[in-house]
């Protein structure tokens, strides 16, 4: 798994809600609490399309608290 550039992470927001994102390196995803979506990161490139995201489970959302 290649992490996104930290400078890019600082600028990214959820494309749906414009809320901040949380980098989850264990699953190589960017999580958004507001939209309840997880955006995949492939080869260090965040896939910031709503259709590329998956819904977060209640248990995953609890991890963001």
In-domain check, residue 1: no
Domain span including residue 36: 6-63
pTM (two decimals): 0.91
The pLDDT tens digits for 30-44 are 999 999 999 999 988
Question: pLDDT band at 1, cuts 50/70/90?
Answer: low
The Cα–Cα gap between 35 and 3 comes to 22
In-domain check, residue 32: yes
CB-CB contact of 3 with 16 (8 Å): no
Which CATH number characterizes residue 20's domain?
Answer: 2.20.25.10
> If you average pLDDT over every residue of the chain, what do you get?
93
Q: What is the mean pLDDT of residues 10-21?
A: 96
Q: Backbone phi, then psi, for 20, in 5-degree steps?
A: -65, 160
Task: Name the nearest CA neighbour of 8 among 51, 41, 50.
Answer: 41
Decide if pLDDT at 2 tops 80: no
In-domain check, residue 58: yes
Report how many domains make up the chain. 1
């Amino acid at each position: 798994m290649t992490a996104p550039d930290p400078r890019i992470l600082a600028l990214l927001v959820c494309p749906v809600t414009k809320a901040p994102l949380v980098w989850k390196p264990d699953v190589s995803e960017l999580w958004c609490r507001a939209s309840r979506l997880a955006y995949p990161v492939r080869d260090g490139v965040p896939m910031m399309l709503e259709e590329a995201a998956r819904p977060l489970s209640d248990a995953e959302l609890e991890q963001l608290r």
